[in-house]
Amino acid sequence: MGLTNTAPDLLPGTLDLLILRALVREPLHGYAIVQRLRVVSRDVVQVGEGSLYPALQRLLLKGWVRAEWGTSENNRRARYYTLTAAGKRHLAAERAEFERLVDGIARVLQEA
Amino acid sequence: MKLWRRLTRWWSARSHDAALTEELEHHRSLVQADLERGGLTAHDADVASRRAMGNLTLVREDARDVWVVAWVDRLRRNLRFGVRGLRREPTFAVSAMATLAIGVATTTTVFSVVDAELWKPLPYPDADQLVVVVSRADATGARVDGLSGADLLDWRRGAPAFQALASTGRYDRRVLQRETAESVLVQEVTANYFDTFGRRPMAGRPFTAEDARGRRAVMFTDRGWRRVFGTDVVETGVTVDRVTIDGESFDVAGVVRADDTLGPDPDLFLTIDEGRAAFLDRATPMGFGAIGRLAPGATADVARAQVQAVVAATASPDSPMRQPGHAVLVASLVGWYGRGDARPLYFFLGASFIVLLLTAVNVAALLVGRAQRRSREFALRGALGGGQRALTGQLLTEAVLLAMPGGSLGLLLSVWALGALATAMPPGVLFRGTQIPIDLRMAVFAIGVTTLTAAVFVLMPLATARRVFLAGALGAGGRAGAGVAEGRARVRLLVAQMALTVVLLAGAGLFLRSYVGLAHVPLGFDPSDAFSVSATLSGPRYDTEAGLRDYAAAARDAALAIPGVRVAAVGSSSPLRSGPVVNYARAGEPAPAEGQASRAILRAVTPGFFDGFGMPIVRGRAFTAADGTGAPRVAIVNETLAEQAFGTTEVIGRVIDLLPNARAPWTRHPGPLRIVGVVPNVKEVGLNEVDFADIFVPFDQMPAPWIELVARVARPRAGVGEALRRAMAAIDPSLPVGQVVPLDARVDDAMREDRFNTLVVVAFAALAVLLAAVGVYGSVAYAMEARQREFGVRLAMGATPRRLILGALARAARLGLVSAVIGLACTLIVARLMGNALYLVPGSHNGLLYGVETTDPATLGAAFAAIVALAVAAAFVPALRCGRLDPVSALRKE
C-alpha cells in the first residue's frame, strides 16, 4: 500500500463493500467515490488514493464493477465505475454478513 | 523476484497502465479544483494537490499488482492442475512427450545435416565471391576439360573481374623422408590458393609470390603436422625449416587448420612452380579448373565473358577450348561442390517431415482421446460455473506442459544424434566436414508445429463440450463423452497416420529390396580368398620405366614366395578402385574431335592379374610373360568396350588405337593395340553403376607408378595378409606400403553408402510404425473402454466374448484396409512425382535404387499387408481385455 496514503482503519473487506455501496445509485468516477464516502459518512471515512485504486482494480478483476470512460464535471475524460449484477449480489450477501459481524462486535462491547 | 519484476514490466507495457495514469491525473485535477474553490491560487492548489496525492507511481504499481498477482496465481493454478492431471495419466503423458521428442529430434537433426550440406554458405570470408571457373566440353557440364598453367596465367591477366584466380594440381601420396619414410597425402596448389579462400596459417607464414617462382614451399595442415611430427603446432610453433618429399627439398612455410569443406584436406600442400616448363605448356593440363574470388561488385556473368574472350584470343587452334560445344562456366563454389549426390539428403528430409507429421497426428490423437475421457470433468466444471476462458487457459497450459519437455528432450536427442552422425556417417555422405551445428530455426519450427498441434487439439473438445454439458455427460446413466464429432476426428487422424506410415514403409521396402539386389549383383570378379595391397612408386629410382617394371616383378615374386599364395599379380589399378581414363578409337578411323572420342579405363597388368581377381577370360587368352617390352603390343578389353567399338564381342585380332591423351600423362605409349582377349565387365566405381569400358595392357609394355598387388590364397588365410605386407615393405624400405585389404572387404566398402541409406530409411519407417502402433493401440483401447457398457449389455444378453473380440478386430482391420488403400494411392503419387530421380541416370555413377521399380508390386503389397497387420495387432490387446469383461462390473461402472 502507498506510503503516504494512510489506509483507513477499516475491517478487511470493508472498503470493497463501501465502494460497492457507493455505486448502487449511479456510476461514479474515483474522486466522486471518495467524496461520496466522505460526505455520507460525515467525514469519518476518508479513503486515500493508495487504497482506492488498487481496490477498484480488485473489484474489476472480480467482475463486481465495470469501468467505462465518460466525461466528468470538469469536462475531462474520466473512468466511471458501474456496479454489475454480480456486484449487486455480492453486496447483498456481504452486507448481511457485515451487519451480523457489527452486531456481534456491538454485543461484545456492550457486555464488557 | 526477477520473474516478478519481469512480469510487472510486461504488464506496464500495456495500455492498462496509461489508463490508470490518466485516471489518477483526473483525480488530482478534481482535488486541485476543490482546493482552488477553497481560496488557493492555481499554482498553490496544484502543488498542494500533488502533495496530498502522494507517490502516484506507487499507487499505480499497487493497482497494477492486483492484476499481476491474479495472473500469476491463475498460471500457478493451471500449472498445478496440469501437472496433477498428467501425473494421473502417466501413460498418456509419457507417450505424448516421447512422441513429441521423436518428431522434434528427427526433423531438427535431418534438417541440420541437409542445411549444413547443401544450403549453408561456405565457411570462408565473403564466400559468395568464390567461384569455380571451368571450361567444359559439353552442355551438361558433366565433362570438364583440363586447365593448363598457361591458361590460368592468361585468365589472370585478361579477366580483371577476379581479385584472385588459384588452381590445384596433383593430389597424391608421396614420401616424406625423415628418419623413417612417411607416406603423406599431398595437394599441389598455386601459391595464392590460401589467399583466394581467405584461409590464414595458424602458425608460420602464408605462401608469398616468391613461393610461386623458384622457391617451392610446403604448408602443413595441423592434422598432417600432428601425424608427421607428433606435436601440437599451436604449442610448439613451426619447429622444422625444411622437409624432403620424394627426394626434393621444400621450405616449410607454415601450418593451416585442416578444412574438409570441399573434400578432405591433404596432410600438406605444395606450391606449384609457376615458372616450370610443364606449367607453361598449354597442352599439359594441371587441374580441372580454377577457383576464383570475384572482385567486389563483379558478377559471375562479367567474369565469364572476360574469360571467354581470353580463350578466344589465346587458345591455340587445336586446343580443346576451341572445340565446338566448348564453353566457359563460372559457377558458385558452393553450388559446384554441392553437386555431390544430394538425392539421399532430400529423400531423408522428406521422410523426416513425414515423421514430424506423424508425431503431430499422434499427439493430436492422444489429446483428443484424453479430452474424451475428461468430457465429464469439463461438463462438471461447466455446470459449476467454470467459464470457457478459464478452461481455455488451463488447457493451453497443459499443451505447453506437454510440448516443452517433449521439445527439450527432442533437442537433446538431436544434439546427441548430430554428434553421433559426425562419427558414424560413411565418407561420401557428408561433403562439408563433420562438424554440424544444430539448426535452431528448425528446432523452433518443429517445436512450434507440435505445440500448435497440441494447442489446437487440446482446445477442440471445448467446441463440442457445450453440447455435451449436463445433458449427456451428467445425465443419469449417461455414458461419459463419446462425442460423435470427436470419435470421427479420432478415426480420421488414425487413418491419416497409418496412410503416412504406408508411404514410409513402401520407401523402406524399396531400399531394402534394392540393397538385397545389390548384394547379389554380379561383380565380374571373385572377391573371396584374395587380398590386395597398394603402393605408389615415387622417387628417383622409379623415374625410368625399368625401375617400375623391376618393382612390379619383385613384388610379384615376393608374394608368390609366401606359403599359401596361389596366384599373385600386379595391376596399375583394380576393380572397384576405378583408374585413369584414356581415349581410344578403332584403328584406321580418323581421330575423332577432342571431347568426342570414346573413353575407357586403362589398366596395366602383369600376367596372373585375371586369375588373381577371379575374372574369367571369355574369349582369346590372358597375358603371358611373352607379352614383354619387345613383343607386339596387345590388349585385352572388356565386353562393354568390344560392344561399343565393334558391336560384337568377337573382337580377337581387331586393333584399337590408344589416342594421345592429356588426361592420363602416364600413358606414354599411344598407338595401335591388337586385342588378344575379352573379359567380362567388372564393377569399377560402385555396385550400382553404368558399365565402363576397360582396356588392359601388359604391365611391361606400359608400366605405371601405381602398384596394386593382388594375391589369391589357398585356405586357411590367417597370417597371409601380414606376410604380404612385410614382403612388400622389404622390396624398398623407403616406400610406404598401404594396408592389406581382403577383396571382400572392398566389396563391403562399396555397399557402405547404400547400407547407410537403407538403414536411415528403414529407421524412419520403424519410427513411423512405432508411432502408428501407439496411435492404433490408444485409439482402440479408448473405443473399447467407451463401449464397455454396451459390451456389458451384450455379454449379459448372451453374446460370447469371442464374438466381441472378433468384432473389435474386424473394425481395426477395416480401418487398416482403408488406410492402406489411401496410403498406397499417396505412395503411387509420390513415386510418380519422383520419377526416376532415385535411379542411375546419365552422368551419374550411382543410383540410389537398384533393380526395383518405385511401383514394385511386391513392395507395395508388403506395405499394404503390414499396415493391416499392424492395425489388427495393435488392436489385439485391448480387444482381448474387452472379451474378458465381467458384465456385472461393466454395467455397474457408470
Report pLDDT for B60: 77
Which residues from B are below 8 Å from A2, CB to CB? 54-55, 58-59, 62
Instruction: Give the three-state DSSP class for B188.
Output: strand
Q: Tell me, what DSSP letter sits at residue B426? A: P
- What is the residue type of B503? V
Report pLDDT for B661: 60
Report pLDDT for B485: 55
Cell triple for residue B102?
Answer: 521423436
Report pLDDT for B459: 74
Which residues from A are below 8 Å from B70, CB to CB? 61
Which residues from B are below 8 Å from A4, CB to CB? 54-55
Residue B324, judged by CB atoms within 10 A of its CB (0-12, 13-18, 19+), counts as: exposed
Strand ranges inside chain A, DSSP E: 28-29, 65-71, 77-83
Per-10-residue mean pLDDT, chain B, length 894: 56 66 85 85 85 76 77 82 81 83 87 79 83 69 67 88 88 79 86 91 89 86 88 84 86 88 83 83 74 89 87 70 69 68 80 86 78 73 70 80 86 86 64 66 79 75 54 44 60 86 90 88 89 84 88 93 91 86 84 74 93 93 91 94 91 89 60 93 84 92 90 80 86 81 86 83 88 79 74 81 84 90 92 76 67 85 91 84 72 59
Which residues from B are below 8 Å from A56, CB to CB? 63
- CB pair distance less than 8 Å for A50 and B22: no
Report pLDDT for B384: 72
- What is the residue type of B1? M
- CB pair distance less than 8 Å for A72 and B30: yes
Which candidate from A48, A57, A77 shows the least CB-CB separation from B26? A77
Return the residue in A6, A57, A58, A65 with the most chain B beta carbons within 10 A, the one to mutate for interface testing. Answer: A57
CB B222 within 8 A of CB B257: yes
Instruction: Tell me how far apart the alpha carbons of residues B226 and B203 are, in angstroms, rounded to a whole number.
Output: 13
Which candidate from B54, B56, B66 shows the least CB-CB separation from A54? B66
- CB pair distance less than 8 Å for A53 and B62: yes
CA distances from A30 to A6, A12, B21 (A): 17, 20, 12
Query: Alpha-carbon torsion B56, B62, B66, B69, what sign?
Result: positive
Q: For this complex, say whether ipTM is above 0.85.
A: no
Instruction: Tell me how far apart the alpha carbons of residues B168 and B148 are, in angstroms, rounded to a whole number.
Output: 11
Q: Which residues of B548-574 are buried (b: 16+ CB within 10 A; e: fewer)?
A: bbbbbebbbebbeebeebebbbbbbbb
- CB pair distance less than 8 Å for B23 and A4: no
CA distances from B505 to B492, B499, B500, B823, B848 (A): 20, 10, 9, 10, 17
Supply angle C-alpha B447, B450, B452, rounded to 5.
105
Which residues from A are below 8 Å from B54, CB to CB? 2-5, 48-50
Q: Which helix (H) or strand (E) holds B806?
A: helix B801-834
Cell triple for residue B713?
Answer: 590364397
Q: Tell me the β-bridge partners of B172.
A: B186
Report pLDDT for A46: 83
Return the residue in A49, A66, A74 with the most chain B beta carbons within 10 A, the one to mutate for interface testing. Answer: A49
Q: Name the nearest CA neighbour of B114 among B829, B840, B755, B760.
A: B760
Which candidate from A1, A53, A74 shows the least CB-CB separation from B24? A53
Q: Name the nearest CA neighbour of B801 among B881, B856, B736.
A: B881
How many beta-carbon contacts under 8 Å exist across A and B? Answer: 73
Report pLDDT for B556: 93
- How close does chain A come to B379, measured CA to CA in Å? 23
Instruction: Tell me how far apart the alpha carbons of residues B135 and B159 are, in angstroms, rounded to a whole number.
Output: 15
Which residues from A are below 8 Å from B59, CB to CB? 2, 5, 49-50, 53-54
Report pLDDT for A1: 35
Q: Which residue of B has its CA nearest to A80?
A: B23
Which residues from A are below 8 Å from B66, CB to CB? 54, 57-58, 61
Instruction: Tell me how far apart the alpha carbons of residues A74 and B489 are, in angstroms, rounded to a whole number.
Output: 60
CA distances from B702 to B51, B93, B603 (A): 108, 72, 9
- CB pair distance less than 8 Å for B64 and A57: yes
Return the residue in B16, B30, B61 with the most chain A beta carbons within 10 A, the one to mutate for interface testing. Answer: B30
Report pLDDT for A6: 44
The model's pLDDT over B686-745, given as tens digits with 9 standing for 90+, comes to 788 788 899 999 999 999 888 899 999 987 667 888 888 888 888 888 787 777 888 888
- CB pair distance less than 8 Å for B62 and A54: yes
Return the residue in A38, A53, A61 with the most chain B beta carbons within 10 A, the one to mutate for interface testing. Answer: A53
Which residues from A are below 8 Å from B29, CB to CB? 74, 76
Exposure of B35 in the CB half-sphere (CA atoms within 13 A): 20
Report pLDDT for B39: 83
